[in-house]
Amino acid sequence: MNAHNGDMLKNMVQESILKVSEEQVESLKETKKSNSISLTGTGKDDLGITRTFGISEQSNGKYALADYTRGQGIETYDVNYRDISFEEKYYPGILATSTSTTFNDPKAVSAHFLATKVYDFYKDKYKRNSFDNKGKKVVSVVHAWDSGETDDPKSWNNACSANVNNVSMLIYGDSMVRAFDIAGHEFTHSVTSSESNLEFFGESGAINEALSDIMGTAIEKYINNGEFNWTIGEQLGSVLRNMKNPSSVNFFDGVPYPDDYSKYSDLNGEDNEGVHFNSSIINKVAYLIAQGGTHNGVTVNGIGEDKMFDIFYYANTDELNMTSNFSELRLACLKVATNKYGANSIEVEAVQKAFDAAKIKGTVKENEKTAENQVLN
């Protein structure tokens, strides 16, 4: 992901030997000593809204953003602008603490509150126990920085799902932590890694990204008491992607996001062969399944967003594999819809027509990519 193209989301998978600092060792000791009895903390998040959330009391008398009532726990850390490119050993940082049950870091409050809500969404909606469905600990990291994208640590406009020393982390630059759909997006990358494990390049990577946008939208609806929209990241102050109208947002100057398969491009290998760029094609399919509409002369009768969310979720958990392409995603969604609603159902028809409208057929051979779009200058 290049910051200049306006797409702030990426999925990083990094394996390393983690060498913790002395400060981290003490933090980890206190974490282990934390009281697992449920306590309630409060604090204003990055939107200025007072939130309540689960916390723990440490043996040193401080309170930590550590909620052990959900799975193996939800913990939030402050990495204090350490550079993930060169200082990975410092990640996840120091457990965020306070001398009282009130927390004053709005970035940490946002990350912690949203992590609990995303966990609750998957538990309530799909009976899923954390991202791996085995209760694995959810670790959020705030005040992160990647010098490869900006020289100013406080201006790193990105977020990612990363694996460091077998610790899955949701890592946030300062500007990224407030958006509900982005928190859901990043958590869903970890769900995908535990399920279909879609490779993060080309068509499989674009599906990976689209699944995160789709479920991020579902999570926005859940957190926001039923209110949501079809844009990604609008709580940041600008829209990163638009599922209803992908081409209304530019991926980079003069090049809009594509809305059908004829506009697919591997970007000359950039963006891991266009994983973010081409995800908008699947986003358009998802929107059409939910809301309906006419696209490329094909009219789709929508079936509602909740059924659409379910179809893509179960395609991820039950049908897709690490190398699945767009055609295989179509077949996976059709299989889920058929199993849930019947072969002649309106749901199956909606899936068929939505993929047709985006020019995604049932086999790779049938799909059409416009030649001039394969290399964008």
For 318-352, how does the pLDDT look when each residue is reduced to its tens digit (9 = 90+)? 999 999 999 999 999 999 999 999 999 999 999 99
Nearest 10 degrees: Cα torsion 226, 227, 233, 237: -150
β strands within the chain, DSSP E:
9-11, 39-44, 50-57, 63-64, 66-67, 74-78, 94-95, 97-98, 102-103, 138-142, 159-164, 167-172, 231-232, 241-242, 250-252, 255-256, 293-295, 298-300
What pLDDT score does 18 carry?
33
pLDDT digits (tens, 9 = 90+) for 228-237: 999 999 999 9
Confidence label for 238 from pLDDT (cuts 50, 70 and 90): very high
Query: What is the average pLDDT across 268-272?
Result: 95
10 Å CB burial of residue 370 (0-12, 13-18, 19+) is middle
pLDDT digits (tens, 9 = 90+) for 111-136: 999 999 999 999 999 999 999 999 99
Confidence label for 260 from pLDDT (cuts 50, 70 and 90): very high
186 is catalytic: yes
Confidence label for 362 from pLDDT (cuts 50, 70 and 90): confident
Which of 186, 220, 273, 305 is an active site residue? 186
Which of 143, 185, 189, 276 is an active site residue? 276
Is residue 82 over pLDDT 50? yes
Which domains are seen in the chain, by residue range?
A: 3-194 (3.10.170.10), 219-373 (1.10.390.10)
209 is catalytic: no
Window from 22-36, 62-76, 263-277, 283-297 with minimum mean pLDDT: 22-36
Nearest 10 degrees: Cα torsion 312, 313, 317, 318: -50
Structure tokens at 84: 């993930």
What pLDDT score does 200 carry?
97
